[in-house]
Structure 1
């Protein structure tokens, strides 16, 4: 019997990265193996996974979410010096504390930036000792559609002075995601915003990220292709049929690089797959994890 997701409970802790940065981690304890490790997209927080983590925890899975450095409850890097290698190291550190009680490495579920970090971590690891037992890539491939990424970055840069109140932030999200039927409530927005010294509400990520990771993204693309070609663990690619970041072209290219990967397109989803179609997304992840637990 599947438990009510609303009854699922989590605990928040912090894990120290190699350079001392504190990473905020949230864990829903379960007994099913392997555990599920969720890595969010650029500019998001671990709360992007709340619906999926609760639902999967209600099915007995051990679910772990965390805030990448510079995001949410994790520390910002001094002087704003962010590089992809730091994020990959952080992901490996969190993976090491997300191992199931039976010793199995977690299934890494990564959206957008989180998925790219997972590819690098898995592809560059010792093939005999992979950091993950499998990968779920959520609407991301080593090559992305530039127009879609520019739209996302445009939204992230659109409010440098923040918002006067939660209602203003909700209106901004509503304009950015017009297909969403429900307007964000203050309770839903609180984990996504922080109050600045100016008294205004700002997104819960370090603005310096836009000048660091984003500026270097094109430089990393050859590394992403090479890493993807070396991934040996089971891979599931979940894409949004209405996404402007992943296309049939980038999916086909990825499947040639990783021929053992399985691809599922979710009809009602844009790039924000879990937010747009959480039930369908959760079902696909649970089904994939079930096949792994039997292997």
Structure 2
């Protein structure tokens, strides 16, 4: 199933890269990756959603992948949300938003803080308002590591293996090419703007958590929380708080998965999301035939 790379204009004309597939007349699904990832992190999930009959947009967030870097270094939730709203404005139907980590936080505030019904459904992938400090610090340490880049793919693969010790190493390192760029220094660097790390290193976690809680209380669309049962970012307590804030939300705990749920247990993740979207569309008379 082929996806075509295209460009969208985000907030203030920010150029955003995306892989797009499926009939634009079908129910749209926007996939938003986590911090330090790219649109390629959705992989098979995007292709299966197209096969299911969805119009899929797998977006590179600003400062990530092939999307433009913010000249002013603005990587706030407001900036990400502004980009998302600009993409939504190009669609004829309200999309389902499927967001992992940072992409999920962006989706949550976009829905919760908007006075208009911008989306038809919400899937939060291992993200809740109150996240584990240790887990978040683990992510930040990885993103701040190796500022001088890597000599080759093998070095980059070693860094990933140290970050995700429980995940089996792939037989080839070629998949990492989409997440790295060759710079003028002749070394490979991760495909994100280093200014993102600086910006979020200054963020106030409590203020962000309170904002996410306020947004969650305002969510009325069908919602699914998908958590990696072995996640070091979303605890059971954090998940239960989210379910109290959004009482109609459904919850799927993915056995054997960590924070990178879609990558750790792709089949279980895809099945949970597809079933949820089908039931949501059926309930709103937008079922895929």
Q: Same fold (TM over 0.5)?
A: yes
User: Is the CA contact 1:33–1:293 (under 8 Å) kept in the aligned structure 2?
Assistant: no
**2:75 pairs with 1:111:** no
* Structure 2 counterpart SS, 1:216: coil
Q: Mean alpha-carbon deviation: is it higher for 104-113 or for 212-221?
A: 212-221
User: Is the CA contact 1:84–1:213 (under 8 Å) kept in the aligned structure 2?
Assistant: no
Alignment match, 2:286: none
Deviations 1:46-100 (A, max 9, x none): 1101221012212222211011110000000114233221100111112223x3x
TM-score by length of 2: 0.93
Alignment match, 1:5: none
TM-score by length of 1: 0.91
Q: Report how many residues are paired.
A: 282
Alignment match, 1:204: 191
Deviation at residue 220 of structure 1 after TM alignment: 2.1
Alignment match, 1:51: 44
Deviations 1:1-36 (A, max 9, x none): xxxxxxx01111111123121000111114784221
Alignment match, 2:131: 144
Q: Trace 1:168-179 onto structure 2 (pairs within 5 A).
A: 168-179=155-166
**2:118 pairs with 1:123:** no
* Structure 2 counterpart SS, 1:208: helix
Deviation at residue 252 of structure 1 after TM alignment: 1.1
Deviation at residue 293 of structure 1 after TM alignment: 2.2
Alignment match, 1:263: 251
User: Is the CA contact 1:92–1:121 (under 8 Å) kept in the aligned structure 2?
Assistant: yes
* Structure 2 counterpart SS, 1:154: helix
> Quick one: distance in 2 between partners of 1:11 and 1:83?
28
Alignment match, 2:55: 62
CA distance 1:92–1:168, change in 2 (3 Å): same
Deviation at residue 147 of structure 1 after TM alignment: 0.4
Q: Mean alpha-carbon deviation: is it higher for 56-65 or for 203-212?
A: 56-65
Deviations 1:97-144 (A, max 9, x none): 3x3xxx431110000011111110000112xx3111010000110110
Q: Trace 1:1-295 onto structure 2 (pairs within 5 A).
A: 8-30=1-23, 33-97=26-90, 99=91, 103-126=92-115, 129-183=116-170, 185-218=172-205, 219-295=207-283
Unpaired segments ≥5 residues, structure 2? 284-289
